[in-house]
Amino acid sequence: MSISSSVLGAAGEHYVMCQLLRRGLIAALAPAGVPNADLIVTDQLGSRLSAIQVKARVDKGGDGGWHMKEKHEDISSPTLFYVFVDFGKDLVTAPVCFVLPSATVADVVKRGHDIWLATPGMKGQQRNTTIMRRFLPDFDGHGRQIGCPKGWLDPYREAWHLIERGADASA
């Protein structure tokens, strides 16, 4: 069964919203068309506010990554977080989420793309830049060059505490 990217995105947003609500945070979908946030989150007093961008995937492709764009290299705020949702291979396996600060994501996306550009293509040709980027759990042999070897995402697995601290982490 195939699922459209818009339906997969909505599933990711609602799954993340559920996880936040379960932790006692107030979470809501951002209005349609907001460029850098899918969810808005606050504590019950409204004293902490964060924005969340959700990226969802199912087990397709060989690199296990998520699609990003060039703009994600420059999106960084102490109160903006990304949640990368991996829905896995089937409906039985529980989804896995990786929660990261936006500054970390921007840095990794930029460095990963720079390494990709510097690496010859399959036929030895120089690669051309594109607006597309990949956020990967393993940057193959180049992971050490950008500080993202195999397992680098593990500390961010289900790291909901980063969002729970929200704006307090930047104070």
* Torsion angle of the four alpha carbons 59, 63, 66, 69, in this order, in degrees rounded to the nearest 10: -150
| DSSP H or E run through 6 | helix 5-22
Give the integer Cα–Cα distance in Å for 136 and 64: 7
- Whether residue 83 contacts residue 98, with contact meaning beta carbons closer than 8 Å, is answered with yes
Q: How many domains does the chain have?
A: 1
Q: CB count, 10 Å around CB of 89?
A: 10
Q: What is the CATH number of the domain that holds 68?
A: 3.40.1350.10
Mean model confidence pLDDT for the chain:
88
For residues 52-56, give the mean pLDDT: 96
For 121, the domain range is 5-170
HSE, CB side, 13 Å, CA atoms: give it for residue 18.
9
DSSP letters spanning 42-77: E-TTS--EEEEEEEEE-S-SSS--EEEEGGGGS---
8 A C-beta contact, residue 13 and residue 39:
yes
At residue 144, does pLDDT exceed 60? Answer: no
As a whole number, mean pLDDT of residues 70-93 equals 93
Q: Residue 168's pLDDT band (boundaries 50, 70, 90)?
A: very low
The pTM of the full predicted model, rounded to 2 decimals, is: 0.90
Bigger pLDDT: 169 vs 6: 6
Give the mean model confidence (pLDDT) for residues 7-35.
94
